Structure 1
C-alpha cells in the first residue's frame, strides 16, 4: 500500500484538523518519502529513513507526530514529543512547519536553541507546549538544570542525524534519549542514513526499526541542471559570478568555504552595485533571523553563505546555487545542490572552477558517478587551457620492476674464525714495521762463535 503512487493523505486516516491543515498547505498527495515513512510511524514503529535532500522528510515525521499527540495527548502540562536538529536555522524551520500543520488543532510548540535569551525560552516552556523542537546541546543544559522534563515524551525525532553525529553531538543526543521513557518511539531521518555512524547508533537505540532508503544519497533530482564554468583567475571568476547574478532571475544562493572568503566576496560584489545578504556561523541570532527573513521575503535575492545554510533550510523557490568555492566532499556538494529544484521545480547549479579546484571537481564527479557538463559564457571564455587532473595509476605486480638479485652472503663467510689474530691475519698487504718487530732479537750476552 505504501508504495502506491495514487495514495492520498485521506488514506492515512488522519484527524480532520490535520487534513484541513495539509489542504491549506496546498498538498494534494504524499510524495515518495511520505508514502513510505508515514504508515510505520503511525503504527508506532521506530523508523530509520534515508532520502535525498528536499524529499519532504519534515512532513514525513511531523504528520505522524501530530497525529499521535492528538490521539494520545500527554498528561496535562507535560511535553509529549521532542524533535532534535543540528542547527538553529533547521529548528526554526521545523517549528514553523509544525505551527502551520497544527493550526486549529490546539497543539503548540516551543523552540530551544542557543543564541536565544534563556529567559525567553523559559517563558515559552512555561506555556506547557506539547512539542519541543531543539538543538541537542541547549536542551541537555535545560534538562540538567531541571528547567524542563521529557519524562512523558512518547515520540522523539532526530532530523539530519548524520549531521548531528558529524558535529560531535551524539553524546548530547544519547543524554536526551536517556531522559525519555524506555518505551518511546524513535524516528531517525537523514539525507544519508547509510552513514556508518547512523547505523551504529540505530543498532543500539532503535527497536526493531523499519529501515527505508528511498534514494541514493549520491543522487540529485532530475529537475536540477548542473554545469561547470572554468576560470583563469579570481578576477575572471568574479566576472563570471557577477554575470550569473545579474542574468539569472529569482533567488540565488552562493556558497563559499570560509568566512574570510565570504567577507572578501561580499565586499567585491557590493562595490560593483550588487546588494547581497551574508549568512555564517558567527552571526548573532537576531542577525541570522533578519537575514533569512529578508531572503524569504525577496527584498534581496542574493545570499552568500558558508555551509551553515547547506543543511535543512527550506527556502522556497531558490532558482540557482552557485559554488564560488568547490566543496571538499561529494556529500556536501549534494546538500548544497539540494537547496534548489525542490517539489519538482527546475533549478540550476553553477560550479566556478579554477585550476586549484580541479581535484575537488574530480572527487565530486567520482562521488556522483557522472561527468558534469562544461559550459561557457560569451565574452568570458577561459583563455588558458586548464591542466587535466589525473589520478596516478597504481602499478600492478607485473608492472613493478623486479629488484636485481644480490649474491647470497653467509654469516660464516663474514667471520674471521680460524684466522690468526694481529697484523698477519689481516687481509691485504702486511705492515713492514710490524713484521720487523716479529723478527727474533739477538742476545747481546751470547758470544759470537
Structure 2
C-alpha cells in the first residue's frame, strides 16, 4: 500500500484520489531505491506504471524539502509532445493537493510564452530535447538548481537522433543530481553508452516483457496485399466488439490513406502522424477520449505517449519493425489489468519479421482466418514442425547429375595445354635447344 510507504501526506492523498490501490511491479521495485537517492536504470514497457515510478519519489522529496528560493528542481525529458502531455497530466494529478508547479516545454507552442513560464521557476519542467535545447541556447532556461534528471523512453529519444541534445542538456544541470533513465529495451547500444555517462553506480530495475502480455490476446491474420488488409481492417472494426481501437501503420501516407478509406465507410476515425499540427492533434485526442472518435489510425511516432482509457483493440496494419516496438504498440491495450486484443495483418513480406518477433518475445501468436476474406497466401512453403521455414538443398540439373567428375590429375593436365615449357638443356654458349613437343591426350570426360 502507498499509505505505508512513508510518503508525504499530500502525495498519499492524491494517490488515493486516483484509486491507485497497490503499486505496480515497477513501482514496488523502484520506489525504495529512488527514495534512497540511488540512480536507476529502469527497463519497463508502456502500461507498467513507469510514470508513477519516477514521479512519486521525485514529488515526495520536493514536497518534503521546501526550497522557495530555488529554481527548477526536476527535469523530465521525453521524446514526443504526446508523452510530455501525458507526464504533465499525471504530474498535475499527483500535485493537486500541494503547491508544486510543473510546465511543459515542447515544440508547437509559442517560444516567448514558454520563456515566461520558465521565469516563474516551476519546480518541475517536462520537456522534449529539441525545444529545451533552444531555450538553453537563448538563455531563457536555467537548470543549475536541478536535483533530479529523468530520461523517459530514452531508447526512443536516441532513435530520433537526440543523443547530443540530451548530453548537452544534462551538462547544464551543474548541481549534483539524481538520475533515472527509463527504456523499453536495454539491448540498445546507445542506451548502454548514455547510461554509463549519466548514471553513477546505477541500480537496475527490470520488468520482464512476458508479464505485460499475459492479459492480451495476440492474433495473426495472413493477407495478400494492402488492399486485402484494408478490407480486413474494415471487417474487424465492423465485427469485433470494442470501445476504442488503434490501427498502426508504418508511414504517414499509409495512415492517411487508411483513414480516408475508413471514413468513406462511415466509421468514426481520425489519423495521427508527424505532419499534423499540435492543435489538431489535441482536438483529435480530445475526441478520442470523449468517444466522438473511437478509432485512431496512427504511426509509431505519433502514438508515443498516447495513453487513453478504454483502448481494447490494436490492429497492426503494418508489422512493427522490432520486438520492443511491437510491445509498445500492444501495450496501448490491456492497461491497468484489463483484457485486450491485438491483431497483426501479415503478408509474405512481413512473415519473417513476425517470426523473429515471436522468437524475441518467446511467444506464439494465435493464427486466425476470416472465412469470407481468406488470403491466397498461406505462409512460407516447407515449414518445419515448429512453424519456421525449412531450408532446402538446391537440386542438381539433369546435365549436372550425368556429368562425370574430372580427376584432379586430369584437371592439372588441362591447365597446361598451350603453355610453353621451360628449357631443360642450356648450352654453354648461351644458345637454345628447342624441345620437341609431345602429343597430349585428354581423358574422356563424356
Q: TM-score range by the shorter chain?
A: 0.7 to 0.9
**Structure 1 residues without counterparts, runs of 5 or longer:** 1-7, 396-401, 430-449
Which whole-Å CA distance do the structure 2 matches of 1:317 and 1:403 have between them?
73
Q: CA contact under 8 A between 1:85 and 1:91: conserved in structure 2?
A: yes
Structure of higher CA gyration radius: 1
Which whole-Å CA distance do the structure 1 matches of 2:292 and 2:431 have between them?
99
Q: In the alignment, which residue of structure 1 is the partner of 2:434?
A: 425
Q: In the alignment, which residue of structure 2 is the partner of 1:273?
A: 266
Q: In the alignment, which residue of structure 2 is the partner of 1:416?
A: 422
**Structure 1 pair 394–244 and aligned structure 2 pair: CA distance change class (3 A):** closer
1:40 matched to 2:40:
no
Which whole-Å CA distance do the structure 1 matches of 2:421 and 2:86 have between them?
82
| Aligned positions of 1:33-432 closer than 5 A | 33-76=26-69, 78-216=71-209, 220-247=212-239, 248-383=241-376, 385-388=378-381, 391=389, 393=391, 416-418=422-424, 425=434, 428=437
Q: CA contact under 8 A between 1:61 and 1:157: conserved in structure 2?
A: yes
**Structure 1 pair 12–105 and aligned structure 2 pair: CA distance change class (3 A):** same
Q: CA contact under 8 A between 1:74 and 1:130: conserved in structure 2?
A: no
**Structure 2 residues without counterparts, runs of 5 or longer:** 394-404, 439-446
TM-score normalised over the length of structure 2: 0.86
Q: CA contact under 8 A between 1:73 and 1:80: conserved in structure 2?
A: no
> Per-residue displacement from partner, 1:125-166 (whole Å, max 9, x unpaired)?
233211100011211221121111010010110101111122
Q: In the alignment, which residue of structure 1 is the partner of 2:16?
A: 23
Q: CA contact under 8 A between 2:380 and 2:389: conserved in structure 1?
A: no
Q: Aligned with 2:364: secondary structure?
A: coil
**Structure 1 pair 408–68 and aligned structure 2 pair: CA distance change class (3 A):** farther
Q: CA contact under 8 A between 2:82 and 2:303: conserved in structure 1?
A: no
Q: Aligned with 1:355: secondary structure?
A: coil
Structure 1 residue 234: deviation in Å?
A: 3.3
Q: CA contact under 8 A between 1:160 and 1:312: conserved in structure 2?
A: no
**Structure 1 pair 379–211 and aligned structure 2 pair: CA distance change class (3 A):** same
Which whole-Å CA distance do the structure 2 matches of 1:403 and 1:371 have between them?
50
**Structure 1 pair 10–417 and aligned structure 2 pair: CA distance change class (3 A):** farther
Which whole-Å CA distance do the structure 1 matches of 2:406 and 2:100 have between them?
77
Structure 1 residue 90: deviation in Å?
A: 0.4
Which whole-Å CA distance do the structure 1 matches of 2:377 and 2:274 have between them?
36
Which whole-Å CA distance do the structure 1 matches of 2:192 and 2:286 have between them?
36
Which whole-Å CA distance do the structure 1 matches of 2:67 and 2:312 have between them?
42
Q: CA contact under 8 A between 2:222 and 2:377: conserved in structure 1?
A: no
Structure 1 residue 200: deviation in Å?
A: 2.0
Q: Aligned with 2:20: secondary structure?
A: coil
Q: Aligned with 1:111: secondary structure?
A: strand
Which whole-Å CA distance do the structure 1 matches of 2:373 and 2:391 have between them?
35
Q: Aligned with 2:104: secondary structure?
A: strand
Which whole-Å CA distance do the structure 2 matches of 1:137 and 1:356 have between them?
35
Count residues with an aligned counterpart.
Answer: 414
Which whole-Å CA distance do the structure 1 matches of 2:124 and 2:308 have between them?
23
Q: CA contact under 8 A between 2:147 and 2:175: conserved in structure 1?
A: no
Q: CA contact under 8 A between 1:49 and 1:189: conserved in structure 2?
A: yes
